[in-house]
Structure 1
């Protein structure tokens, strides 16, 4: 006898990056920020913890939505917030991409969480292959113009490749299926890519999703948001309020608001990551790696003379953890988060030892 719903057996849950408890580990596998969040964030969380926890949080997150709106130059009614960008993405898939058997267009190599959500919601998927340089193939998406589809989802910069489309390419995508939502997932946008938020005012089908987890160093706080015209925000709110009217707690709302009030700290830490990324890319090339151009806080690289899975295992044996994806087209690549200069130096030393071995 089984007590579970029939669809449960068909689900393939998303597998997050490993979070091991190994002393002295250089952890470069989950794209976390190597630096701590702004001191203002910590102070705001401490203040919220001392007062008001016996009360429910604001279900509309009005102060936070106002702060996010000011940051992006939009009104608060253009902002939706949730428990991390993954929750926002799941709600968006539910709100916008359930159109019977019509397929959702996704790059064939992208964030694997999209596939998990599609299986959960029974959304049909059509994978659009990346080009030979592992870039999103704009022409291939444009070739679907006039076809019946459920929508399009683009991670920009793409994950796990780190390559981004420029703003004019995103605008062309918005015009391919104007009757359907184009969701642009911008988890890594602050590290050097163009944001599609600039398109929201003139394209009612554009929905942009971002997160505090990467550039704001708040992966442990779980705050994500979407920017879109009010009808899209209202649809997300309707789905969310159908099962949980309180998506963000008081501590998360306070800390997230403070994160947008310390732009100078954000810029310093973001620039430090970008600077280290550029140095890491060059030094890995000196070791013989082929490294894709990255506009994220990670690099995606392969070594023509070494198997990626074996290299990842050898690095782990030297207490350096990177991410390997056993997937078609990318099974010889490693995704490596950008750490501090000291962590990157440990990585490079371990790589050199592995390659010599």
Structure 2
């Protein structure tokens, strides 16, 4: 602590990102990165943007990311003025906290969820009320309905993280039909791996905002591109905050890469299908080893072994240079979150666990 710190900084507990291990060839299954490279069109687009001498880099990028927004809007069957872009979905969510939450009432989100939400709440001094998941780690919409219009906003991932469980669209509609006085934010970072997207509902519900990322299904975690979809008035609020903070959140290469990734729909669908197939095989393999695995619609699984401590398993795997995520958090301290890797990486994980368990 320094006497030059602000009061807010002194009270912060920063978000802890997943480890980027220094091993030469780790089996890295801890940060939910896509196991496959992005579309070949992405590298072609970056090379084209750079040109022979990289001359374009001396000029600022398009602050509105117009071409990217139009491409993504066309993909989802919406209009460009219903699309906001940011430097990863984390930045998009940060702007949501400033632009759309009513700070005189508590924000509602699950007790087990993406750990950046409470971090942002502390940073922006937003009151929070967490609602517990049920015994099967599912979100109970009825708990949110009981607090409808008595909150400063509702926020949850679908599928949820780190559990991987997804809500059907009908449940989200039930909330939107009742909670009309505050924004409902659905964070769909993992939706393309088998869940139902709420983007189709934004024309019917002016308080619905849906957040996406190019990091997961489109393999662009290294480029930092995120989106929000909603009524133009919500998008305008986000742009007002963005342009009061950083008018150029996406550089030229990120815009070119993300546009190319969305244009190659066939590649996107093929890689998602491969991840889904591998997820089901990984689930079967873990269950065969005695693990309890929560049904997942994400590119990861959440599992526990009833006879073995999760922290000890994670440490033993690390000795084999296999990295998974363990959360020291009430209710889930005996679970491991395991990213779906390539089939070979999943095989190495299962072989490693089998050796440890035996």
> Which TM-score tier does this pair reach, normalised by the shorter chain?
over 0.9
1:53-106 deviations in whole A, cap 9, x for unaligned? 111111111000000100111000000000000000000111111422x10000
| Conserved? CA contact 1:65–1:79, under 8 Å | yes
SS at match of 2:341: coil
| Conserved? CA contact 2:110–2:156, under 8 Å | yes
| Conserved? CA contact 1:144–1:176, under 8 Å | no
Gaps of 5+ in 2: none
Equivalent runs, 1:138-153 vs 2, <5 Å: 138-146=141-149, 148-153=150-155
| Conserved? CA contact 1:58–1:246, under 8 Å | yes
Q: Where does residue 107 of structure 1 map in the other structure? A: 110
In structure 1, how many angstroms separate the alpha carbons of the residues matched to 2:125 and 2:245?
Answer: 19
Q: Where does residue 201 of structure 1 map in the other structure? A: 203
Q: Where does residue 27 of structure 2 map in the other structure? A: 26
Q: Where does residue 133 of structure 1 map in the other structure? A: 136
Q: Is 1:52 aligned to residue 53 of structure 2?
A: no
**CA drift at 1:222:** 0.3
In structure 1, how many angstroms separate the alpha carbons of the residues matched to 2:307 and 2:74?
Answer: 49
In structure 1, how many angstroms separate the alpha carbons of the residues matched to 2:254 and 2:178?
Answer: 37
In structure 1, how many angstroms separate the alpha carbons of the residues matched to 2:12 and 2:355?
Answer: 41
Q: Is 1:90 aligned to residue 94 of structure 2?
A: yes
In structure 2, how many angstroms separate the alpha carbons of the residues matched to 1:294 and 1:172?
Answer: 22
Q: Where does residue 177 of structure 2 map in the other structure? A: 175
SS at match of 1:53: helix
Any runs of at least 4 consecutive aligned residues in structure 1 with deviations exceeding 3 A, and if so which?
none
In structure 1, how many angstroms separate the alpha carbons of the residues matched to 2:69 and 2:211?
Answer: 13
1:260-294 deviations in whole A, cap 9, x for unaligned? 11111111111111000000001100000000000
In structure 2, how many angstroms separate the alpha carbons of the residues matched to 1:314 and 1:243?
Answer: 44
**CA drift at 1:180:** 0.5
Report the more deviating stretch, 90-99 or 303-312: 90-99
1:328-347 deviations in whole A, cap 9, x for unaligned? 11110000000000000000
Aligned residues: 354
| Conserved? CA contact 1:71–1:260, under 8 Å | yes
In structure 2, how many angstroms separate the alpha carbons of the residues matched to 1:255 and 1:235?
Answer: 26
Q: Where does residue 65 of structure 1 map in the other structure? A: 69
| Conserved? CA contact 1:32–1:217, under 8 Å | yes
In structure 1, how many angstroms separate the alpha carbons of the residues matched to 2:69 and 2:204?
Answer: 21
Aligned pair partner of 1:331 in 314, 330, 333: 333
CA RMSD in angstroms, aligned pairs only: 0.9
Equivalent runs, 1:150-229 vs 2, <5 Å: 150-229=152-231
Gaps of 5+ in 1: none
1:182-222 deviations in whole A, cap 9, x for unaligned? 00000000000000101101000000000000000110000
**CA drift at 1:143:** 1.4
In structure 2, how many angstroms separate the alpha carbons of the residues matched to 1:129 and 1:264?
Answer: 39
**CA drift at 1:47:** 1.1
Q: Is 1:78 aligned to residue 82 of structure 2?
A: yes
In structure 2, how many angstroms separate the alpha carbons of the residues matched to 1:127 and 1:114?
Answer: 11
**CA drift at 1:312:** 0.5
In structure 2, how many angstroms separate the alpha carbons of the residues matched to 1:297 and 1:110?
Answer: 16
| Conserved? CA contact 1:61–1:248, under 8 Å | yes
In structure 1, how many angstroms separate the alpha carbons of the residues matched to 2:118 and 2:176?
Answer: 22
Q: Where does residue 7 of structure 1 map in the other structure? A: 8
In structure 2, how many angstroms separate the alpha carbons of the residues matched to 1:131 and 1:280?
Answer: 25
**TM-score relative to the length of structure 1:** 0.98
| Conserved? CA contact 1:151–1:177, under 8 Å | no
In structure 2, how many angstroms separate the alpha carbons of the residues matched to 1:176 and 1:202?
Answer: 13
| Conserved? CA contact 1:41–1:255, under 8 Å | yes
Q: Where does residue 122 of structure 2 map in the other structure? A: 119
